[in-house]
Amino acid sequence: MRCNDVERVVYFFLDGALDPKRCEDFASHLHVCPECQTRTIVHRRILVFLKRRLTPMSAPARLKLRLSRALRAFAE
């Protein structure tokens, strides 16, 4: 695997979506290419950050109740 291949499939690798052979090739390339290894670490950090920031949050129970009442009143 070459550097430009790594750039194209890095997110597939991080998501675990590469087939075993390509995953092995990717990991082997990282062992011999510090630039791609650094880039992959940065992409992993970006993914972790995004997953943390995009975690769904539930509305407070009181707000849900108020919305439910308002919708029922509107429907009547």
Judged against a pLDDT cut of 90, whether residue 46 lies above it is answered with yes
Q: What is the mean pLDDT of residues 33-43?
A: 96
* DSSP character at residue 18: S
The overall average pLDDT reported for the chain is 92
Can you give the residue range of the structural domain that contains 58?
Answer: 3-75
Check pLDDT > 80 for residue 76. Answer: no
Number of domains within the chain? 1
Query: What is the pTM for the complete model shown?
Result: 0.66
How confident is the model over 13-22, as pLDDT tens digits?
999 999 999 9
Q: How far is CA 58 from CA 49, 55, 61, 65, in A?
A: 20, 10, 9, 13
What DSSP character marks residue 60? P
